[in-house]
Each structure stands twice: as structure tokens, then as C-alpha cells.
Amino acid sequence: MLLMGVLFFVLFSQFQRCNSGQSNEIVFSDFVESVEKGTVVEVVIQGQNIYGNRKIIENGKEKIEQFHTFAPNDPDLVKSLREKRVKIAAKPENN
């Protein structure tokens, strides 16, 4: 019974972590490097905030990691994303 309780707790914790919508904050230069490597899958651009998903290797397995970053004024950003076939969505900036 105790084992089932522990197992339930572990599974519930993992589920909560996966569904919490938490994303890792990354610096813009790491974001650009990920775009250049082709690991960025999709982004949502909201003002100067960029939210997205990128492929990472963890323990030898490919996973999707959520991230966010703050972009400086980069006039070539969308062009770079399109060249790497990143799915792009845009939202109005929250005031």
C-alpha cells in the first residue's frame, strides 16, 4: 500500500511538472544559436517577448523544452526563423 502511495505521488508530481506550462528563461544569444542549429520548433512573439519550444537531448533522448526570452530590436529575426522553417505565431503586446 505504501509503495502504491509513493508511486502515485511520483506520477502525480511528474504530471504536474509537465503540465505546469513552466518554461526556461534563456538569453537571446542562446535562442539565436538554437535557431541556427535548427532545434527551435515553434515560437510565439508577443512584443519583445518570445515564447517557444525547442528540441533538446536529455539522457540520450530527444525532448521538447519550453523556453522564453526577451528579444532586442532584431529586424532579421523573422527572416531567420522562416529560413529554419520555425512555426511562427504573433500576439499583441499586453499593456
pLDDT digits (tens, 9 = 90+) for 38-79: 999 999 999 999 999 999 999 999 999 999 999 998 999 999
pLDDT band at 94 (very low <50, low <70, confident <90, very high): confident
88 CB contacts (<8 Å, ≥6 apart)? 42, 43, 45, 78, 81, 82
Q: Among candidates 29, 27, 17, which has minimal Cα distance to 63?
A: 17
27 CB contacts (<8 Å, ≥6 apart)? 69
Q: Please list the alpha-helical segments (H only) found in the chain.
A: 2-19, 28-37, 77-83
Q: Which residue has the cell 539522457?
A: 59
